[in-house]
Homo-oligomer: A and B are copies of this chain.
Amino acid sequence: MKVFTAISELKEFLKSGRISAVREGKELQIGLVPTMGYLHEGHASLLRRARTENDLVVLSIFVNPIQFGPNEDLDRYPRDAERDLALAEHEGVDAVFMPSVEEMYPQPTKTKVAVAELTSKLCGATRPGHFDGVTTVVSKLFNIVAPNRAYFGQKDAQQVAVVAQMVKDLNFDIEIVPCPIVRENDGLALSSRNVYLSVGEHESALILSRSLKQLEADVYSGQATTVMEARQQLMQKIGSEPLAEIDYVEIAAFPGLTALQETNSLSSELKAHGAILVAVAVKFGTTRLIDNVLLTGKGEAIHV
């Protein structure tokens, strides 16, 4: 496993790999897993998927300052390079790219890549500028690595939708591969930010996965709950946890994130749209967690 901090050296490595492959009559398939580090089993699942689908797996680790708001947790975002590298090695990563902020932003960036509409809702509404920071840094990583495929966790469902829209709109020659949410045994969706939670907050936060799972079961068992009722039920359940402070509870078509008919049943809206995202953002103490469930036709893959 090679570790790169310089863009130029990573590019040289990838270029020589591509050239060697062509000389052997093949086309090198590169899979990129972009992360902010402090890796957990969710990231590992992306790396494993990338490993099975590509000749070369690149893991990027970069806590991207421009996707954090002024009052967010950039400074205290957890980091552990040593453990990350051990996990990467264990998952058979070929190249780790861990640039400094100066390497990625040698001058303050004047250029932004921004996706409209999709970013005005859900996390975009409470984290202004967040997704512009994401699409800008992802564009940079795409240009540096030029992967065939890039892997993103479906926990950040809106991010998946936004990045897929960007790829389509800007003609990036890259397949976006969304991967299922990985959870603790108790149901909590894995997140690097879970480390912030006290034992009591962690216990409280289980309401998220529990209530989402319940809603999913209700819909699949054919209950005629309307969109409005489903949202209200979720708000009530989550709100009943004393430590929970709701940021949003949203139900929208996926990946367009367009609004649904509030008075229609969720299952009829599901039939109309093909996929529906139920997404929540809730603060427990100072820690803001997100979770979601993607309702689809039975056994259907996620298409973005």
Contact = CB atoms under 8 A, between A and B. Distances in A.
Interface of A: 7, 11, 19, 22-23, 27, 107, 109-118, 135-136, 139-140, 143-144, 146, 165-166, 168-173
Count of chain copies: 2
Contact of A114 (B11, B23, B111, B117): B111
Q: Which 10 A-B pairs have the closest CB atoms?
A: A111-B169, A22-B22, A143-B171, A109-B169, A140-B171, A110-B116, A111-B166, A111-B115, A144-B171, A110-B115
A263 to B, nearest CB: 28
Contact of A117 (B11, B27, B110, B143): B110
A100 to B, nearest CB: 15
8 contacts: A107-B169, A110-B117, A110-B169, A111-B113, A112-B116, A113-B114, A113-B170, A146-B146
Given A114-B111, A114-B114, A170 B22 contact: no
Contact of A113 (B23, B113, B146): B113
A7 B173 CA distance: 11
Given A107-B169, A110-B116, 5 more contacts: A110-B115, A110-B165, A111-B169, A112-B114, A143-B172
Nearest to A111: B169
A168 B114 contact: no
